[in-house]
Amino acid sequence: MSSIRVRPAETSDLVAIAAIYAHSVHTSTATFDDQEPPLSVWQAKLDSTAIGDHFLVAHGPLTPDLGAGNDDTVLGYAYSTAFRSRPAYNRTRETSVYVAPQAQGRGLGGLLYGELISLLRRDEIHLAVAVVTQPNPASDAIHRKLGFTNAGTLEEVGFKFGAWVSTTTYQLRLD
């Protein structure tokens, strides 16, 4: 894992980020999007200067041992954004993390989330919120491991791939 680096996302990363997300759009319920958003959506996240808004990428080699290959490959990303638009929510951020299918199971999600949480604490954000579609044992486990608590489940709140999908909200107090 020492060859994996986490850094702020750059414009040159957006095509790779969009491709990772597109895979989730078309193959999973990890997102409720049913079409790929335009690059301008990712650029807007990157351009945000709001306190608590961060956009990180993990990059490194794509080989199974993570010890050889192109070390510039974007393997995953995480970001934090406004939870809601009203001013009273300014110290709460919604968090998301996505890892490329070929890089899953290597601890990248936890690595990205750890860096993101550190940045949110530095910004004095009070609460991080994450919404996880169900069932999703891997995502549930990573949130619990990082100290998030289950704040409740919305049953059958979304409809994708011909089935109703539930979501569980997790929260982490940061201060």
pTM of the model: 0.93
- Where does residue 52 rank: exposed (0-12), middle (13-18), buried (19+ CB within 10 A)? buried
Q: How confident is the model at residue 156 (pLDDT cuts 50, 70, 90)?
A: very high
Q: How confident is the model at residue 70 (pLDDT cuts 50, 70, 90)?
A: low
Dihedrals phi, psi of 126, to nearest 5 degrees: -85, -40
- Determine the pLDDT at residue 72: 76
Q: How confident is the model at residue 62 (pLDDT cuts 50, 70, 90)?
A: confident
Measure the CA–CA gap between 139 and 134, rounded to whole angstroms: 9
- Determine the pLDDT at residue 64: 55
Could you tell me the residue ranges of all domains in the chain?
A: 5-128
Dihedrals phi, psi of 42, to nearest 5 degrees: -70, -35
How, if at all, do strands 127-134 and 92-99 pair? parallel
Closest to 81 measured CA to CA, from 45, 109, 47: 45
Give 87-141 pLDDT, tens digit per residue.
999 999 999 999 999 999 889 999 999 999 999 999 999 999 999 999 999 999 9
Mean pLDDT for the chain overall: 94
Strands in 54-60's sheet, in edge-to-edge order, are 5-8, 54-60, 73-82, 92-99, 127-134, 163-173, 149-160
Q: How confident is the model at residue 3 (pLDDT cuts 50, 70, 90)?
A: confident
- Determine the pLDDT at residue 61: 87
Check pLDDT > 90 for residue 69: no
- Determine the pLDDT at residue 111: 97
The arrangement of secondary structure in 5-128, i.e. its CATH architecture, is 3-Layer(aba) Sandwich (3.40)
- Determine the pLDDT at residue 66: 46
